[in-house]
Chains A and B, each alone.
Chain A
């Protein structure tokens, strides 16, 4: 392989003019330290979490937490990993102040436009679903998990009740059946998995 073919990507192929200002050794040293710290703040968060995670990376990240938090760098970058799974939605049924009922879903493919709005609402269901164990999980597991997801679902319920002027709302998590290739070929389907999330009431204009 020739040197030319291996020439690396430079931010520019234009040679700097003589007037271009180069930095002094002290400036380069300071900038190098800043670059190293910044790159550590970019590289350590995906090693430090989500699980499985490195304890060493977690400890090294401790002094960098202010920088990671301030610049919103704490990402795992595990897009569609480890495996793309089934989709989730939050189904709701509400009693309104006039006694009538209304139902809906988060997200709502027909109402949530543009698509980016749909996706932002879809994330509500996906992120809460990650905390909700399946209905056949041991009771101890379900009770422990409830402490994590219930405060979030109360916020969702409060938002729905305020938006629709409702009295009470019942919510359930729906895990949609993810068909395999054979299911599609044979036109086969299975029921979705539904997990009740509780009923929440609005108390005199306050969130539940």
Chain B
């Protein structure tokens, strides 16, 4: 429930205008089911489609090793490691290298069509199936990028992601692109999921002494396998390392609280861009950073996108 919704419900309760239970129901309905402009969802769709297409191209660079019968991880070992039969993958059914390539190509095609907004909902469903299949088959090779792409794709399956900025719209197959309840549900799901991710990511860090001591960022900077930008000069500036570490920790934990009020939302989103671009550029995980920034775009209202477009065009 957002701060504004809660404010209105609280005011009504204090004035005795509305019973507590009814105020909850009304606030819930207002939060989830107020028709929303699908434009932000379309922006998320384009960014997600591009990232997924790039990820598919990289999977295809070594497709036999990732998904093939003689790859890094034999299929029977995946079956043993994962929570079967629920963690399914269409690659389990692929018995030949050609079948593996065709399935990888289908995911790439779906990602491209999703980006363009062609048969958008079907493309989103196939893209999600391809992403889940890849992640569940190549368990040894997945990381935060894949988790985030999964969370991004699910709202794109639910909402009218092709209602704006799409070939579907251009062909008149996606309606008028006006506000809809499914757009609201999809955007709200993405917003709430993102809060869950940051909250647990922050809580996980609070187990670690280095996050409390303010030295954790050093641990990431000094790890040569992640490093793409040499920031070991921070060794001579421990207080800067402390500030970066504690700033990251408290921003992550506080994100679910500070992203909703308009007063602090820009700060929360600006921190998200800074943290994820920083990690992306200095630790070689640009795609993961861009995926997290894409998820944050769900908090940018349609009016802001329109205003930006007017200024640019």
Residues A16 and B179 in contact, CB atoms below 8 Å apart: yes
Known: A17-B179, A81-B204. A123 touches B209 (CB 8 A): no
- Enumerate B281-313 residues with CB–CB distance to A below 8 Å: 284-287, 298-299, 301-303
CB atoms of B200 and A78 under 8 A apart: yes
Task: Say yes or no for A70: interface residue by CB 8 A criterion.
Answer: yes
- A29 → chain B, closest Cβ, in Å? 10
Interface mask (B131-153 → A, CB under 8 Å = 1, otherwise 0): 11001101111111111001100
- Given A39-B192, A158-B70, A8 contacting B5 (CB threshold 8 A): yes
Cβ-defined partner of B28 (8 Å) among A9, A32, A74: A32
Question: In whole angstroms, what is the CA distance A156 to B189 when docked?
Answer: 38
- The answer for the CA separation of A21 and B34 in the assembled complex, in Å, is 10
B178 shortest CB reach to chain A, Å: 6
Q: Which residue of A lies closest to B237 (CB)?
A: A181
Our pick among B145, B150, B224, B265 for the contact of A9 (Cβ within 8 Å) is B265
Kindly state the separation between the CA atoms of A46 and B73 in the bound complex, as whole angstroms: 25
Bound Cα distance A35, B181 (Å): 13
Q: How large is the interface on A (under 10, 10 to 19, 20 to 34, 35 or more residues)?
A: 35 or more
Interface residues in B253-290 by Cβ distance below 8 A to A read 259-263, 265, 284-287
User: How many B residues touch A, CB cutoff 8 Å?
Assistant: 110
Interface, chain B (partner A; CB < 8 A): 2-7, 28-29, 32-37, 39-40, 54-55, 58-59, 61-62, 65-66, 70-74, 77, 80, 82-83, 85-88, 128, 131-132, 135-136, 138-147, 150-151, 154, 178-181, 183-185, 187-189, 191-193, 196-197, 200-201, 204-205, 207-211, 216, 218-220, 222-226, 228, 232, 234-236, 238, 241, 259-263, 265, 284-287, 298-299, 301-303
Taking a contact as CB atoms under 8 Å apart, the answer to whether B302 and A12 are in contact is: yes
Chain B residues with CB under 8 A of A152: 73, 77, 140
In the bound complex, do residue B210 and residue A42 qualify as a contact, i.e. CB atoms below 8 Å apart? Answer: no
Total A-B Cβ pairs within 8 A: 271
Please tell me if the beta carbons of B33 and A28 are within 8 angstroms of each other in the complex: yes
CB-CB under 8 A from B70, the residues of chain A are 158-159, 162, 207
Assess whether A93 is interfacial by the CB under 8 Å rule.
no
Interface residue ranges, A against B (CB under 8 Å): 1, 3-14, 16-17, 19-23, 28, 31-32, 35, 38-39, 42-43, 46-47, 52, 65-66, 68-89, 107, 114-124, 127-128, 151-152, 155-156, 158-159, 162-163, 176, 178-182, 184-185, 207
Candidate in B39, B188, B223, B263 with the most chain A CB atoms within 10 angstroms = B223
B187 touching A124 by the CB < 8 A rule? no
Query: Are A82 and B180 interface neighbours, CB within 8 A?
Result: no
State in angstroms the CA–CA spacing of A17 and B154 once bound together. 27
Q: Which of A31, A52, A88, A128 has the most CB of B within 10 A?
A: A31
Is the CB–CB distance between B225 and A107 below 8 Å?
yes
Measured in the bound complex, the distance between the Cα atoms of B287 and A47 in whole Å is: 26
